[in-house]
């Protein structure tokens, strides 16, 4: 890849890795999945920038029968999913221990009977993010 600067600054603060559109992953010659990170070197100082905690949009959205909520953990951790209705009332919760990297929660229609706009939060000891989803008939 080739990048062209449009303003002055530290490239380590302007360029990062994200899985917001496609998963940030690489593959070895033996097809093992690898994490992606940038290493920035300035003299004797080296900085590594990789994918941190990220919460992705549920798929599909809107959903009818089942949806998947993807998230990325920089380290293995316990994560809790909470789903709220439009009034802020918690209508569903699920937790589990997850590995470093990409993970998902799966939600079936039988678990959440509320139709319309919902909000979901995934939280670990150190990170928390919220997104919006829609359940339709």
The single residue listed with the structure tokens 């010659």 is: 29
The average confidence (pLDDT) of the chain is 85
CATH pick for 54-135 out of 1.20.1300.10, 2.60.40.1930, 1.10.600.10, 3.40.50.300:
2.60.40.1930
Q: Where are the domains of the chain?
A: 11-50, 54-135
CA distance 17 to 42: 19
In terms of pLDDT, which residue wins out, 103 or 43? 103
Q: Residue 100: what pLDDT?
A: 87
Q: Kindly compute the dihedral angle of the four CA atoms of residues 69, 70, 76, 81, in this order, to the nearest 10 degrees.
A: -20
pLDDT tens-place string over residues 30-70 = 887 766 767 666 666 545 566 678 888 999 999 999 999 99
Number of C-beta neighbours around residue 60 at 10 A: 13
pLDDT on residue 105: 96
Q: Which of 50, 87, 94 is nearest to 72 (CA)?
A: 50
**DSSP designation for 57:** P
pLDDT at 32: 76
Can you tell me the mean pLDDT for 87-112? 93
Q: How many other β-carbons are positioned within 10 Å of the β-carbon of residue 83? A: 23
């Amino acid at each position: 890849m080739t990048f062209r600067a449009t303003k002055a600054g530290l490239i380590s603060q302007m360029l990062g890795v994200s899985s917001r559109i496609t998963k940030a992953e690489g593959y070895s010659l033996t097809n093992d999945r690898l994490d992606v990170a940038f290493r920035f070197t300035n003299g004797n100082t080296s900085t590594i920038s990789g994918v941190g905690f990220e919460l992705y949009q549920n798929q599909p959205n809107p959903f009818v029968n089942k949806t998947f909520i993807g998230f990325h953990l920089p380290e293995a951790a316990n994560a809790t999913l909470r789903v709220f209705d439009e009034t802020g009332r918690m209508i569903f919760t699920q937790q589990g221990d997850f590995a470093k990297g990409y993970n998902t929660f799966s939600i079936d229609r039988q678990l959440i009977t509320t139709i319309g706009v919902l909000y979901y939060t995934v939280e670990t000891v150190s990170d928390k993010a919220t997104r919006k989803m829609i359940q339709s008939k």
